[in-house]
Structure formats: C-alpha cells, structure tokens
Structure 1
C-alpha cells in the first residue's frame, strides 16, 4: 500500500463471529431517538469503569464493498481514572489532566501539550457522531444492535456513513465501519493506479478491568522536566521532544 493511502486512514481515525440472523428494522420514525439512546447507554457502560483496557484491530479496504484487506494493524486502548492511553499502529497517545503526549515511534518524536492533543481519543464515546449526521437507521440481530448513521454526499465530516455494532447484553462496542467520504488513490492487484472510496473497519475485543502495564500512563516514563524544559526519558533517549 502507498504511504499516502495508509497515512490518510491513520489521520482519519480516531467482531465476534456467531450465528447469522436476518436483520429486523425498527420503525424509521423512532430510529434517531433509539440510536442516540443506545449510544448514550454504551458510553455510560465504559464511563462506569474507573479502569479498563481493550484491544483494537484496524482493517483498511480500498473500496466500499471490497473483501480484500489492503492493510491492517493492531492497537490498544486503556483508561485509568483520569488518564487515557491509546496505541494505533506505531503511534501512542497519553492524556492526563495536566499534560498530553503523542509519541511517533517511526519518526522518533514525542509531542507534548498542556491541552488535550486529541479530545476524540476515547474510542467508546460514539454518541458524538449523532451531532454530525442526519440519517439514522437501527437494525438488530439476536445479540447486537446495529446503528447506521449517514450524511449528505457533500459534508465536512470525514465519513459518509458510520456503522456501529453494539452488544445487547452489556452495550459494549464490538465493531465500527467507517466509510471515507473522499476518494483515495491506490494500486490494485495488477499494480494499476485506481481511485475509489475506501472504508475502515475497527474491531474491539478482550475488554478487561485489569491493566497489563500501568506504567503506560506515567508521563515520566516518556519525558522528564529539567530546569523548566522537557527531555526524553532514558528509554526514549534517541527521541526528539517537541511542543
């Protein structure tokens, strides 16, 4: 995959197999209210946990309907009270109440800010989507709610359609499908350049209330303050610190 194609998806972000059931559509007039209510309950489910982590898997497809994965990478999301950690491929984010970090492990750069670098970092906070979309559809299987949000062809949001799968048993999110609103150039299997509207699928699993490594939340693990200036820690001594 070309660097531009991969980078486009990375900047834009921010399944359990089972028996297949026929989708049942709920009354259209009630869909928006129902979708907003389900996403709000899902948000509350995660906010009710002071400490948790989950694994994420990102899969990139060249078109809206393609079944061939162009690229994929793993991630991790964790919360510990007022601190948040996320890893997406080779980039890490740490957000605390007084300082935020973005660590680019490929470029060996650590960016710090006294403001939140990314207020949309929380992968479970999907209720925010409702403010940007005007089309709402709710379907369901035996085990999941499927919330579909759509917008007009010309819009300032990065996704023309968002599909969110939510577990009925506890309202945790199992999957998101994001349909990119802008066309992106890519190479097909024959090496020919093509342009199409791609999609990104994000799967969430292995949710647990025990953090594997709580050191990831510690700002001092990455940078140290000396004489009013931030420097990389010993572990990151080859990295450059920027603001």
Structure 2
C-alpha cells in the first residue's frame, strides 16, 4: 500500500518530465501527506497536461452518501482496478500521474513501528500511476476532484519492507499511461534498483505532523528520535 508520501519538487522538475501547460508557479513542499488531504496530480485537461490539486481518496461519480461514509479509496489494487466499481470508470478514461519525491512504509510490531523512507536512486521525482474522478456533493452541488494511487505487488527488493508498493511509471511512459489504449500493460513493479531506502524519525508516524518539515525525511539511526 501507500498511505503516506512526500511531494517536494520544483515546477522546473515537473515541466522537464511532463511538459505541463500553464505559467510556472511555486509548489508547496510537503513531507507527511496523509489520505483525504490535497495532493498535486498531473492529468490531461481541455488544453493539455495540467498539474492540479485534488483530494487524495477517490470519490466515484456515482457516490450518493456523505464523504465521511466513503470507504478508504486512497489506494487501488493493480490486479482489480479495471473491474472494481469504485475505480473501473476512472481507469478507462481518467488516468493521472501523481509526482512524488518519496514515500514511507513501516516495519516492526504494532506499537514499535520503524518508519522507512523510499526515494528514487537518481534523485528524480517518482511517477505514481493514479486515477482521478470528479464528483458533485449532493448537498452543496460543489464539484470535488479526487484521486487514488495504484499499488501492486512489491518487487523482490521492496518485499523486505512490505508486500505492496506504488506502481511507479517510467517517465517515458507518461503519455501511454495518460492516454494510451493499453494502460494495463504498465501496471508492473519497477526495477529492483529503482529505489533507495533509509530509516527516518518516528515523528512521521503521526498523521498531520510535520507536513512542512523537511527534517522528517532525514536519515536517522534510531526510529525513536
């Protein structure tokens, strides 16, 4: 799964890999992004590729209940995303990329979990395969754009830490994922040497803590710091 990640990159980095339209702007660096908060996603808009803020936790078009009753939809399983009612419509025609500078996973027993941070070996932003949807709140009629990160089985290297991981696209496959006819072909694990890992402060264990604090991703020898 992917339940916490970071977005700390520049507009220039995003543009270099994705040719985003629109004027350059400052992007807020975030280091402890949790579900139901806003994230930046790259999608195809009316005029081309656009980077926009959306809710993390996809709300399907047909959802009629309050958001508080929505089950967890911040991840979609690669094995079933094309068939599950929650995701199949978005998978067919509303795919997106979630640029990320890294993500967290935990090892150990409940109550003594050790947080690990994962990022690209070459330092580039990661490209998570995602889906987006536009829903209208039945009470206020306000539109809500939302997204989910697709996760698949961990590769052999990642399996030492967790049995699942985000589907990480090669940047050269961005166009094929966003608008190609065979997106399922891209739902595979990244190469074993794609990521690097280190232990970080246990402060990241608390959702909503340190979202603006770059110290959360600093290497530490003890998870209890």
- Do they superpose with TM above 0.5? no
Relative to its length, the structure with more strand (as a share) is 1
Of structures 1 and 2, the larger Rg is shown by 1
Bin the TM-score by the shorter chain: under 0.3
